[in-house]
Every structure is written in structure tokens, then in C-alpha cells.
């Protein structure tokens, strides 16, 4: 995104604890410490990059308030309580400026049923299809090629990126973001084995995304067999996640890429699920559970637990098991040398 800020404008956005140095030019890019150049803004938050701060050519540096640093000529340091949060504020401001620069419009190629209700300032991109009785709240944007099925609703200030499929009766809240390729409300995977054949079980429920939910690219969220598949307020879902039918996800959860959640799982508030985690069906994941990457969850979890492994077990226990497994070759070599005829280990040792 294009932008231009003076030092004074950025200082107003960030509100740093203190400012050292001077730069009279314009900031027009954001870069990491090593790649930054004159006219760039950069930040330091991870201790592993501490040595890069002194050599950075960025014109503005966002630094922790207790970090010792003297800016060079034509360089300014903003000392902030949280440099990452300060950068987030700047990026949010840039995003708003770019959004506000676009006039709300309805592309003439869009196919919109006469019963559709559009609030003020709604933008509809090329080749969008809106079926009957769809409603879209004010200041929402629907990207090109998106399909929204009948009786679906989208709240205000939501952004649907191009090529999203939102199936019938879906309900999307306010300030939601759904990225390209996502399919919301596809049929749940419901089949019954009858006389040796897989018979389809109708999926007649829907999907509800509450306010401030983010859905990544190519995410699939299945409609419920009946009632609703629900994603709670403030939950953020990374790319390539599969959420099965009748799943209930609580508020302010984080679900990282390539997670698979089977049907009828209930997930509490504040849960974090690492990449490539699999969760078996009909389980309860309690509030504030943390599930480490590539774990396989087969049992209900306790609140505030940290799980690792497949099957997932408490983190500390899993680490001890992994450490023991890593030592097995060494232990076997010792046994071969020291106990060659142990009947419990076999004569071939």
C-alpha cells in the first residue's frame, strides 16, 4: 500500500514515550532493520536482532523504551512501550487511509437479486453474485467473483476478499474479514453406511461468524447438520484450516494454518491451536488451552493446559518422553556391550 508520513504525523499516531534525533524527510515505506533505507521506518522487538539496530539505515526506528541507542544523523528513534503494537497502529492507519480513498460503488457486472438489502457505503466488486434476501451492512466490501447465497447476512464494516463462497443462510458479524478462496457454509461431511453404501445425511444448518472474526485464505467452515457451526467473537483463523460441522469455537481463539477440527467439537475461549493440529470429533477443548503444532488431540482437555504430541499429552510429560526416545540408541548400545545375554532383551543384542 502506498503512503507518505512526516515524522510529526507518525509521532501523533504512535505517541512514543520519548523521541531522539531528527529527520526532515518523508517516510514512504516499512522494512526490516537490515533492508531499511532512507525514507523507511523499521522496528526492533525481538532480542535476536539487537545487533542490527546500530547498523540500520532506517530513518525512523521504533525501539523499546529502555533500549540504549543514539540515532545517527538524519535518523529518529521513537522509544515505545511496545514497538510491535506501535507498528500495528501505523499499519492500521495506512489501511484506513487506503480504504477511505476508495469510493463505494457497485460494479455493473454484479448479479444482485431484487430482494437484496444493501446499507450505505457498500462496495460490490465485478462478477459478484448476491442471491435473494441477502443483506449487507454499511461500509462493507465484497470482492470480485464472490458468491453469497440466499438469506445470508453480513454486518457493517466487514471485508470479503475476492472469490469467497458464502453459502446460503450464513451469518457474518461486524468487522469480519474473510480472505480469498474461503468457503463458508459448505455441507458437513455427513454420511451413514446403509447396506454397504455411503448414504448422504442432509446438512440443513448454517454457519455463524461473530464480530471481529478473521478467516484466512482457503479456509473451509462446514454448515451444521442442524443448528449452527459457530466461530466466536474476535477469533482469528489462519489459512488452510478445516472446521467441521456443528463445531463451536469460543471467543478470541487463535487457530494456525493446516489445523483440522472434526465435527461437533466445542472449543472454549482464549484457546490457541498450533499449525497442523488434528482434533478428533465430539471433544471439548477447555478455556485457554494451548495445543502445540502437529499434535493430535484425542481426549477432552483441562482449562489452561498445554498439550504436545500425538496423542497429545501435557507438555512437560511429552518433552520428557521425547528426550528419552532420543537417548534410546545410546541406551541400546550400552545394553549390547554390557548385558549381551539378557533374556528380556533377546540374544541378538
Q: Are strands 248-249 and 228-231 parallel, antiparallel or unpaired?
A: parallel
Q: How does residue 337 score in pLDDT terms, banded at 50, 70 and 90?
A: confident
Q: What is the pLDDT of residue 56?
A: 96
Q: What is the pLDDT of residue 131?
A: 98
Sign of CA dihedral 228, 210, 282, 279: positive
Q: What is the pLDDT of residue 152?
A: 98
Strand order in the sheet with 123-124: 123-124, 141-142, 159-160, 177-178, 214-215, 236-237, 254-255, 272-273, 290-291, 306-308, 313-314
Average pLDDT of span 128-141: 97
- pLDDT exceeds 70 at position 338: yes
CB-based contacts of 108, cutoff 8 Å, min separation 6: none
Vertex 107, ends 104 and 111: CA angle to 5°? Answer: 125
Q: How does residue 331 score in pLDDT terms, banded at 50, 70 and 90?
A: confident
Q: Which residue would you say has higher pLDDT here, 46 or 61?
A: 61
CB-based contacts of 28, cutoff 8 Å, min separation 6: 2, 3, 4, 5, 39, 40
Q: What is the pLDDT of residue 346?
A: 52
Assign 3-state DSSP to the chain and report helix, strand, coil percentages, each to 5. Answer: 15, 30, 55
**In angstroms, what CA-CA distances link 30 with 22, 37, 47, 58, 79?**
18, 9, 19, 9, 17
Average pLDDT of span 96-117: 87
Average pLDDT of span 100-117: 89
CA–CA separation, 106 and 219 (whole Å): 26
- pLDDT exceeds 70 at position 339: no
Q: What is the pLDDT of residue 10?
A: 97
- Give residue-wise pLDDT tens across range 194-248: 999 999 999 999 999 999 999 999 999 999 999 999 999 999 999 999 999 999 9
Q: Which residue would you say has higher pLDDT here, 96 or 176?
A: 176
- pLDDT exceeds 70 at position 142: yes
- pLDDT exceeds 60 at position 340: no
Cell digits of residue 11: 509521532
Mean pLDDT of the chain: 94
Q: How does residue 341 score in pLDDT terms, banded at 50, 70 and 90?
A: low
Q: What is the pLDDT of residue 201?
A: 94
CA–CA separation, 175 and 178 (whole Å): 10
Domains and CATH numbers, the chain: 7-100 (3.40.1390.10), 111-317 (2.160.10.10)
Average pLDDT of span 159-188: 97
CA–CA separation, 232 and 209 (whole Å): 7
Q: How does residue 333 score in pLDDT terms, banded at 50, 70 and 90?
A: confident
- pLDDT exceeds 90 at position 136: yes
Torsional class of 228: left (φ above 0), alpha (ψ -120 to 50), beta (otherwise): beta
In this prediction the pTM is 0.84
Q: How does residue 347 score in pLDDT terms, banded at 50, 70 and 90?
A: very low
**In angstroms, what CA-CA distances link 81 with 11, 78, 93?**
14, 10, 19
**In angstroms, what CA-CA distances link 209 with 162, 176, 248?**
18, 8, 10
- pLDDT exceeds 60 at position 349: no
- pLDDT exceeds 90 at position 30: yes
CA–CA separation, 206 and 200 (whole Å): 17
- Residues known to be catalytic: 245
Q: Which residue would you say has higher pLDDT here, 12 or 346?
A: 12
Q: Which residue would you say has higher pLDDT here, 219 or 335?
A: 219
Share of residues in the chain with pLDDT > 90 (%): 88
- Strand partners of residue 296: 278
Cell digits of residue 140: 462493507
- Cα-Cα end-to-end distance for the chain: 65
> What one-character-per-residue DSSP string does 282-335 give?
T-EE-TT-EE-TT-EE-S---TT-EEETTTTEEHHHHHHHHHHHHTHHHHHHHH
Nearest-CA neighbor of 39 among 55, 23, 52, 28? 28
- pLDDT exceeds 80 at position 348: no
Share of residues in the chain with pLDDT > 70 (%): 96
Check: CB of residue 76 under 8 Å from CB of residue 56.
no
Check: CB of residue 268 under 8 Å from CB of residue 285.
yes
Amino acid at each position: 500500500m502506498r503512503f507518505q508520513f512526516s515524522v510529526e504525523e507518525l509521532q501523533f499516531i504512535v505517541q512514543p514515550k520519548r523521541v531522539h534525533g531528527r529527520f526532515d524527510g518523508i517516510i514512504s515505506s516499512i522494512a526490516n532493520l537490515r533492508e531499511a533505507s532512507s525514507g523507511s521506518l523499521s522496528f526492533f522487538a525481538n532480542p535476536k536482532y539487537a545487533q542490527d539496530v546500530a547498523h540500520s539505515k532506517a530513518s525512523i526506528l521504533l525501539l523499546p523504551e529502555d533500549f540504549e541507542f543514539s540515532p545517527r544523523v538524519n535518523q529518529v528513534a521513537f522509544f515505545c512501550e511496545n514497538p510491535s503494537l506501535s507498528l500495528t497502529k501505523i499499519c492500521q492507519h495506512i489501511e484506513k487511509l487506503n480504504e477511505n480513498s476508495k469510493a463505494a460503488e457497485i460494479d455493473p457486472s454484479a448479479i444482485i437479486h431484487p430482494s437484496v438489502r444493501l446499507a450505505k457505503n457498500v462496495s460490490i466488486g465485478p462478477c459478484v453474485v448476491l442471491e435473494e434476501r441477502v443483506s449487507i451492512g454499511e461500509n462493507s466490501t465484497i470482492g470480485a467473483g464472490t458468491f453469497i447465497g440466499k438469506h445470508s447476512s453480513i454486518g457493517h464494516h466487514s471485508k470479503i476478499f475476492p472469490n469467497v463462497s458464502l453459502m446460503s443462510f450464513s451469518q457474518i458479524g461486524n468487522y469480519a474479514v474473510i480472505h480469498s478462496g474461503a468457503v463458508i457454509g459448505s455441507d458437513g461431511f455427513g454420511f451413514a453406511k446403509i447396506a454397504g453404501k455411503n448414504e448422504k445425511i442432509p446438512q440443513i444448518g448454517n454457519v455463524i461468524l461473530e464480530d471481529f472474526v478473521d478467516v484466512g485464505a482457503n479456509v473451509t467452515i462446514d454448515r451444521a447438520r442442524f443448528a449452527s457451526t459457530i466461530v466466536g467473537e474476535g477469533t482469528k483463523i489462519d489459512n488452510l484450516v478445516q472446521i467441521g460441522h456443528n463445531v463451536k469455537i469460543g471467543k478470541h481463539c487463535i487457530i494456525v494454518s493446516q489445523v483440522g477440527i472434526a465435527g461437533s467439537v466445542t472449543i472454549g475461549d482464549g484457546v490457541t491451536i498450533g499449525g497442523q493440529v488434528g482434533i478428533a470429533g465430539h471433544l471439548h477443548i477447555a478455556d485457554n488451552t494451548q495445543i502445540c503444532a502437529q499434535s493430535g488431540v484425542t481426549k477432552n482437555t483441562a482449562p489452561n493446559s498445554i498439550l504436545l504430541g500425538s496423542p497429545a499429552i501435557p507438555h512437560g510429560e511429552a518433552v520428557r518422553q521425547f528426550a528419552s526416545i532420543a537417548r534410546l540408541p545410546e541406551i541400546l548400545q550400552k545394553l549390547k556391550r554390557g548385558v549381551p545375554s539378557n533374556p528380556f532383551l533377546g540374544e541378538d543384542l
